[in-house]
Amino acid sequence: MKIIKKQIDGQTETEIEIRYDKLNAEVIKVIERIEQTEKFLDGTDSGRHYRIRISDIYYAESVDKNTFIYTEDAVFRSELRLYQLIGMLKADDFVQVSKFCIVNLNVLESIRTMFNSRLEVTLINGEKVNVSRTYLNHIKMAFASKEGYSE
């Protein structure tokens, strides 16, 4: 794959052109990644409403019937239920790791096996999230296909 970058003075909008011989999985993944940067979710914090870029989300969890969205340095409350977020974010490299939590694969740093057949994922900001046994295969397969899996 060859990437050509060109700065054009006076250009009012960023423009991306993708040229390919065949529309294969790699090209589709590149297109999805580019499109992901322009998707947003709504969240609130201290009574203020925010638009949260999907690529900035590290993980989301449900606590006491409330859904929280975590970014690198902020926490937002979402009006959406976790199952709704899962449906919306599955195509954007999010994977369910427990009944109450989904994680962005793009911010995974490592996976560590814990005692009693559980896993712990560490995110690039140092935050740790436990993977319940029910979702072990989901995260292993997703991480293996994304980055390569090793214990």
- 38 inside domain: no
Residue 82 within a domain: yes
Q: Which residues are 42's β-sheet partners?
A: 51
Task: Flag whether 79 is in a domain.
Answer: yes
Residue 66 lies in domain = 56-146
Q: Determine, yes or no, domain membership for 3.
A: no
Residues 6 or more apart from 134 whose CB is under 8 A from it? 98, 99
Specify if 43 maps to a domain.
Answer: no
In this structure, are residues 94 and 102 in contact, taking their beta carbons and an 8 Å threshold?
yes
Count how many domains the chain has.
Answer: 1
Residue matched to tokens 């709704």: 84
Residue 147 has pLDDT above 60, yes or no: no
Give the pLDDT of residue 29: 84
In a domain, 9, yes or no: no
Spatial CB neighbours of 4, under 8 Å, sequence gap ≥ 6: none
pLDDT tens profile 30-78: 887 777 667 889 999 999 999 999 889 999 999 999 999 999 999 999 9
CATH code, domain carrying 87: 2.40.50.1020
In a domain, 85, yes or no: yes
